[in-house]
Amino acid sequence: MATDVVRSGGGTPPGPSLPRRVVDFYNGVIAELKRVTWPDLPQVRSATVAIIIFVLLLALLITALDAVLNGLLLRLLPSLFAK
């Protein structure tokens, strides 16, 4: 049997309404965005070039590892099943 919770007249009052909370959240976001230190164009270019170079080097490494492992497996796989 479930027990019913009886609410008395005391306690904490309800918080602000949903529209008020949404407006407060929006105002908080705008205030935080004004405090952000945004990078200038040379910083963005430098970071973009560094990321592109890193991704290309990583792709080259993965391609090389794939070729080496592919060659090893093709060479070793038949000998694993030989009697």
pLDDT digits (tens, 9 = 90+) for 13-23: 678 899 999 99
Q: Where are the beta strands (DSSP E) in 19-82?
A: none
**pLDDT band for position 8 (cuts 50, 70, 90):** low
pTM across the whole model? 0.55
pLDDT digits (tens, 9 = 90+) for 24-72: 999 999 999 999 999 999 999 999 999 999 999 999 999 999 999 998 8
Phi, psi dihedral angles at 53 (to 5 degrees): -60, -45
Residue 65 vs residues 1, 15, 44: alpha-carbon distances, Å: 65, 59, 32
Q: How far apart are CA 79 and CA 83, in angstroms?
A: 8
Please say whether the beta carbons of 67 and 60 come within 8 A: no
